[in-house]
Amino acid sequence: MDLSYGDDAEAFRGEVKAFLNAAWQPGERRRDELKAYIAEFRTNATGHGYLYRSVPKRYGGSEQPVDVIRAQVIREEFQRARAPMEVGGNGMNMTVPTLLEKGTEEQKELFIRKTVEGEYIWGQGYSEPGAGSDLAAVRTKGELSADGSTWIINGQKIWTSQGMQSTHMFMLVRTEPNAAKHDGITYLLIDLNQPGITRRPIRQMTGEGGFCEFFFDNAQTPVSWQVGERGQGWYVSRTTLKHERASIGSADGLGNQFDKLVELARETGRIADPVVRHELARIEGFVMAHRYTSFRLFSCAAAGEDPGPVSLMMKLALTEIGHEMALLAQDLAGEALLREPAAAGTRGRGPEKWLDQIMGSLGNSIAGGASNIQRNIIAERGLGLPRDLAMQAER
Amino acid sequence: MHFHLTEEQIAIQEAVRGTLADNWPMARLHAFAESDADFDPPSWQALMALGLGGILLPDSGMGLLDAALASQIAGEAAAPGPLIGQMLAVHAVALSSNPDVAGFLDDLVEGATVATLALDGSDHVQSANAARFFLTGSRNGPLELVEAGAGVTITPMPSTDRSRPLASVTFDGAMTHQLFAAGDPFIARLFDAALILVAADALGGAQKCTDMSVDYAKTREQFGQPIGRFQGLKHQLAQMALEVEPAHAFVWYAAYAWDAQLPDAPRAAAMAKAHLADVYVRCTRAAVAAHGGIGYTWEFGLNYWFRRAIFDRAWLGSPAEHRARAAQMAGW
Ligand SMILES: Cc1cc2nc3c(=O)[nH]c(=O)nc-3n(C[C@H](O)[C@H](O)[C@H](O)COP(=O)(O)OP(=O)(O)OC[C@H]3O[C@@H](n4cnc5c(N)ncnc54)[C@H](O)[C@@H]3O)c2cc1C
């Protein structure tokens, strides 16, 4: 075992550092001026091959060979310098990789550059009131216009994160009502600003907005915005996110949160309590196992090796550790939790701010595949146990 | 950057696994468990022939990580001891500056003589009757090598863990060699190494319990289908995997940090011992439940791992004790 990145990577780190020293000097810039500076910086950093590495140059990327170690060095140095990385969100995480793999030339040209530049913001239009864990049960209907040029869409999507800010959506639509469940779905891109679409914010249990629902009433999208074949949408949506996805930092968020939990124990004067110390150390055991497993996954990715079933467990592990932290935080914060915290980002929030994590940790056990679905995946794909009869029957 | 097992490390694990499959099958374990023996020469010699005795020699080209990988497989096979004691005694004797012990080293490395641990007291010592040496000491005192023979009294006891029978040992005027004086930093490192090797044994046992349960769930049928198709059981098995799979990298890290002498090595050792002791106990309990009636029998043998989990948890300090130490070391 060796946790150093090697001489090559360290030389590369020197280049990145030098670049950042010269190119990232935001100084006192504010608002529009800062925004313009950031956009210019991103273009500059992309020109040097540091951002949008998996995206071809002709679509605004830097088109670099896959190298998870370099990608990691870039992440570390950008974070250290507090320099902006790629525009985040569904666009870079999902739309772009899917288009790169399955999109037409026209689609790539139309969407990737604007997504990379942050102009297009994508909502994920998968869930419906009747289709959650059973995603292939989507019923939102797509029918071709008489001239065959346009999809006419009717139905409803729900729980769309960042739905209020989104300009576009990638969605799963039932276009072949007579085909088998998984074979009747088409993957469509759609412009959300049109008369046939109404959106409504849904308030989350935290009290804040965060996702919304969309109603489609003869909404339209060109046939040329369909990704992959008709009826193949389910398989298009499974396109795995490759390209330097492994990162050591994937477990850092959890570690940071744990450090804050220790801080909370200090602030509330409970850190000397042996029960609290034991609970903290017990939870930290899981945090450490998660962190070192992220090293393992990173190392396998760098070597191009398959780490095995453990990679299927990361989401559930993260979720479960989040629950444990929420429970301890609740005890540590004590009566402070009787007070609803001021909005996130407000100054002067006390221990009651942990309410955000206490509730947010529950979102993790639902969003992106509920925990029971994760358990099914671990058991069936990871351990090779036989599939559920009900689910097997419908495939 | 490399943080997964190399082909060579996997090959060594396979060799240990194969050796134990040949020399320590379930029938041997059953026979051993019913006997008064506290040591099993055939499996011992087979393991020593692989060179495990010398892994922690300073010039072996290997380190605690490799020792932990071997200990993991011993745990998986519920192998009898005292492998951990032997590896650590070799390490201590090799690095000691006491000239009187240098002559012991070759036989220890080859396994021709046996060394066992009597750290933090000698009430629960493995393979005491077979041992030629007892490695004694505490974190705050000196580390010593006591020779078997005059002045050593061994009283065997009925042991929970039938794969590692224990005896209470008393020393009264026995031949004793000091290896390291009280306060020598080597002593704390030796204790940390012991914790990591026990954590590795627990890892192997927990993985074994998980694998056995998954295999059983694929073959055992009820209601006309493999029980592994029932979601309730499936989720229990997924939970076992969720406990044990991420724990591999935890043990690797603790051993790597010890080998590289990183500042967080002592804390990682304490945390790994505590965490793996919990994981092992939860996995053995879940394994018995997953097997139904057969799991509750003596004959089937799952209980050897169950009992071993109790041993690994209680030996060399409980999770609570090591978490308290870890809290202290973190400056909480
Ligand atoms: C914060 C947040 C953000 C989200 N963002 C988006 C988004 O941007 N776009 C989008 O499309 N969706 C989004 N979702 C929706 C999310 O994907 C679904 O909520 C999720 O897949 C579960 O579906 P459901 O809500 O219909 O619950 P259900 O599927 O009805 O599940 C209810 C319960 O039943 C259990 N269950 C269901 N099926 C099984 C089974 N086969 N075996 C065992 N147990 C089962 C589940 O585990 C769960 O406990 C978001 C959800 C949340 C909470």
The full set of domain ranges for chain A reads 7-86, 122-233, 249-394
Q: Is CATH 3.30.420.250 the right assignment for the domain spanning A7-86?
A: no
Residue at A32: amino acid letter: D
Q: Is A244 a catalytic residue?
A: yes
Hey, what are B231's tokens? 């979601």
Q: Is the CB of A211 under 6 A from ligand 1?
A: yes
> Any residues with CB less than 8 A from the CB of B132 and at least 6 apart, and which?
B113, B114, B115, B147, B148
Q: Whose Cα sits closest to atom 27 in ligand 1?
A: A132
Q: How confident is the model at residue A241 (pLDDT cuts 50, 70, 90)?
A: very low
pLDDT in tens, A160-173: 999 999 999 999 99
A249-394: CATH superfamily: Butyryl-CoA Dehydrogenase, subunit A, domain 3 (1.20.140.10)
Chain A to chain B Cβ contacts (< 8 Å): 157
* Residue of B302, B275, B244 lying closest to A293 (CA atoms): B244
DSSP string, B130-176: T-SEEEEE-SSS-EEEEESSTTEEEEE---S-TTS-EEEEEESS--E
User: Which site among B242, B262, B283 would you substitute to test the A interface, given the most A Cβ atoms closer than 10 Å to its Cβ?
Assistant: B242
Contact of B289 with B295, CB cutoff 8 Å? yes
Instruction: Give the count of beta carbons closer than 10 Å to the beta carbon of residue B216.
Output: 22
pLDDT in tens, A101-117: 999 999 999 999 999 99
Statement: residue A244 has pLDDT above 90: no
Contact of B192 with A351, CB cutoff 8 Å? no
HEC-encoded secondary structure of A272-320: CCHHHHHHHHHHHHHHHHHHHHHHHHHHHHHHCCCCHHHHHHHHHHHHH
pLDDT of residue A248: 55
- Say if the Cβ atoms of B234 and A305 lie within 8 Å: no
DSSP string, B172-209: SS--EEEEE-TT-HHHHHHHHHHHHHHHHHHHHHHHHH
pLDDT tens, N- to C-terminus, chain B (332 residues)? 899 999 999 999 999 999 999 999 999 999 999 999 999 999 999 999 999 999 999 999 999 999 999 999 999 999 998 999 999 999 999 999 999 999 999 999 999 999 999 999 999 999 999 999 999 999 999 999 999 999 999 999 999 999 999 999 999 999 999 999 999 999 999 999 999 999 999 999 999 999 999 999 999 999 999 999 999 999 999 999 999 999 999 999 999 999 999 999 999 999 999 999 999 999 999 999 999 999 999 999 999 999 999 999 999 999 999 999 999 999 99
Which CATH fold would you assign to the domain A122-233?
Answer: Butyryl-CoA Dehydrogenase, subunit A; domain 2 (2.40.110)
Active-site choice (A77, A86, A244, A320): A244
Asked if A95 reaches chain B (Cβ–Cβ under 8 Å), the answer is no
Evaluate the CA torsion angle A342, A346, A352, A355 in order and state its sign. positive
Asked if A385 reaches chain B (Cβ–Cβ under 8 Å), the answer is yes
Span from the CA of A319 to the centroid of ligand 1 (angstroms): 14
Contact of B214 with B290, CB cutoff 8 Å? no
Statement: residue A249 has pLDDT above 70: no
Residue at A299: amino acid letter: S
CA of A339 vs chain B CAs: smallest distance (Å): 27
Contact of B193 with B271, CB cutoff 8 Å? no
Mean per-residue pLDDT of chain A: 93
What b/e sequence results for A285-303 when a residue is b if at least 16 CB atoms lie within 10 Å of its CB, and e otherwise? bbbbbbbbbbbbbbbbbbe
Task: List the single residue in A with minimal CA-CA distance to B237.
Answer: A379
pLDDT-above-70 percentage for chain A: 96
Q: Is the CB of A159 under 6 A from ligand 1?
A: yes
Hey, what are B145's tokens? 């090598």
Rg (Cα) of chain B, in Å, rounded? 20
At residue B57's C-alpha, the angle toward residues B51 and B60, to 5°, is 70
> Any residues with CB less than 8 A from the CB of A103 and at least 6 apart, and which?
A111, A227
Q: Is the CB of A164 under 6 A from ligand 1?
A: no
Statement: residue A242 has pLDDT above 50: no
Three-state secondary structure call for residue B320? helix
Statement: residue A75 has pLDDT above 60: yes
> Any residues with CB less than 8 A from the CB of B164 and at least 6 apart, and which?
B80, B81, B82, B126, B127, B308, B311
- Say if the Cβ atoms of A379 and B324 lie within 8 Å: no
Contact of A59 with A237, CB cutoff 8 Å? no
Rounded-to-integer distance, Cα A156 and Cα A239, Å:
24
Rounded-to-integer distance, Cα A261 and Cα A15, Å:
36
The full set of domain ranges for chain B reads 7-180, 185-329
pLDDT of residue B126: 98
Domain spanning B185-329, CATH architecture:
Up-down Bundle (1.20)
Average pLDDT of span A182-193: 97
Hey, what are A391's tokens? 């689910």
At what angle are helices A274-303 and A252-267 packed, to 10 degrees? 170
Ligand 1 atom closest to the CA of A90, numbered from 1: 8
pLDDT in tens, A320-366: 999 999 999 999 999 999 999 998 888 888 999 999 999 999 999 99
> Any residues with CB less than 8 A from the CB of A386 and at least 6 apart, and which?
A380, B218, B225, B226, B228, B229
Rounded-to-integer distance, Cα A51 and Cα A204, Å:
33
> Any residues with CB less than 8 A from the CB of A110 and at least 6 apart, and which?
none
Hey, what are A241's tokens? 């996110």
Strands laid side by side in the B133-137 sheet: B115-119, B133-137, B143-147, B176-180
> Any residues with CB less than 8 A from the CB of A317 and at least 6 apart, and which?
A286, A289, A290, A293, B242, B246
pLDDT of residue A250: 63
Cis peptide, bond prior to residue B82, ω within 30 of zero = yes
A217 forms beta bridges with A154
Asked if A259 reaches chain B (Cβ–Cβ under 8 Å), the answer is no
- Say if the Cβ atoms of A305 and B4 lie within 8 Å: yes
Asked if A381 reaches chain B (Cβ–Cβ under 8 Å), the answer is no
Rounded-to-integer distance, Cα A289 and Cα B279, Å:
11
- Give, for ligand 1, the residue of A95, A366, A375, A380 to mutate: max count of ligand atoms closer than 8 Å to Cβ: A366
Q: Is the CB of A160 under 6 A from ligand 1?
A: yes
Rounded-to-integer distance, Cα B46 and Cα B90, Å:
18
From chain B, pick out residues whose CB is under 8 angstroms from the CB of A288. 250, 253, 268, 271-272, 275
B37: left (phi over 0), alpha (psi -120 to 50) or beta: beta
Instruction: Give the count of beta carbons closer than 10 Å to the beta carbon of residue A17.
Output: 14
Q: Is the CB of A209 under 6 A from ligand 1?
A: no
pTM: 0.96
- Say if the Cβ atoms of A281 and B271 lie within 8 Å: yes
ipTM over 0.90 threshold: yes
- Say if the Cβ atoms of B242 and A317 lie within 8 Å: yes
Statement: residue A390 has pLDDT above 80: no
| CA separation, residue B235 to residues A240, A373, B78, B120, B241 (Å) | 25, 10, 26, 40, 10
pLDDT of residue A85: 94
Query: How does strand B133-137 pair with strand B115-119?
Result: parallel
Rounded-to-integer distance, Cα B51 and Cα A236, Å:
52
Q: Is the CB of A126 under 6 A from ligand 1?
A: yes
Rg (Cα) of chain A, in Å, rounded? 23
DSSP A136: G
- Give, for ligand 1, the residue of A121, A127, A205 to mutate: max count of ligand atoms closer than 8 Å to Cβ: A127
Domain spanning B7-180, CATH architecture:
Orthogonal Bundle (1.10)
Same fold, B7-180 and B185-329: no
pLDDT of residue A207: 85
Q: Is the CB of A372 under 6 A from ligand 1?
A: yes
CA of A8 vs chain B CAs: smallest distance (Å): 11
Rounded-to-integer distance, Cα B320 and Cα A220, Å:
63
